[in-house]
Amino acid sequence: MPIIELVFTSVMFRWIVTTLAVWVAVELVPGVRYDRWQTLAAAALILGVLNTFVKPLLALCTLPLIIFSFGLFLVCINALLLQWTAALVRGFSVESWGAAFLASIIISLVSMLFGGWHVVRLYYP
């Protein structure tokens, strides 16, 4: 399989998993809402872009806090990125910091649960 197909497959799979994870968070956390499925897909796409490009910079800037909290401050970064996603996507809303914090934990767990096996299968068939 050519490398471009591997990359495309991996990106599409991660987007689908992120969409599923955001949907689970919306269903479980009061205060996180979306209007229609297109909004959910757009929110997952924006969240993925923020996680790819902005999260590493935020993690680098807050490295002492991450080390001091044994990595738990990364959940706060994830919650912040989720709130930024809500600010960027019309029809997707996060009402409070607590909702964003809880939703970010759920999104991380669902992504880890459903996304982890694909990496192993993709690179070690």
What pTM did the predictor assign? 0.89
Strand, helix or coil for residue 33 = strand
Domain interval for residue 103: 3-123
Count how many domains the chain has.
1
> What is the pLDDT averaged over residues 31-53?
96
Listed in sequence order, the residues at least 6 apart from 13 whose beta carbon sits closer than 8 Å to its beta carbon are 115, 118, 122
What is the pLDDT confidence band of residue 80, given thresholds at 50, 70 and 90?
Answer: very high
Determine phi and psi for 92, rounding to 5 degrees. Answer: -115, 125
Q: What is the pLDDT at residue 1?
A: 61
pLDDT recorded at residue 109 = 95
d(CA 109, CA 87): 23
**Pair 106, 39: CB distance under 8 Å:** no
pLDDT of residue 7: 80
Residue 118 binned pLDDT confidence (cut-offs 50, 70, 90):
low
Distance CA(81)–CA(9), nearest Å, equals 24
pLDDT score for 11 = 86
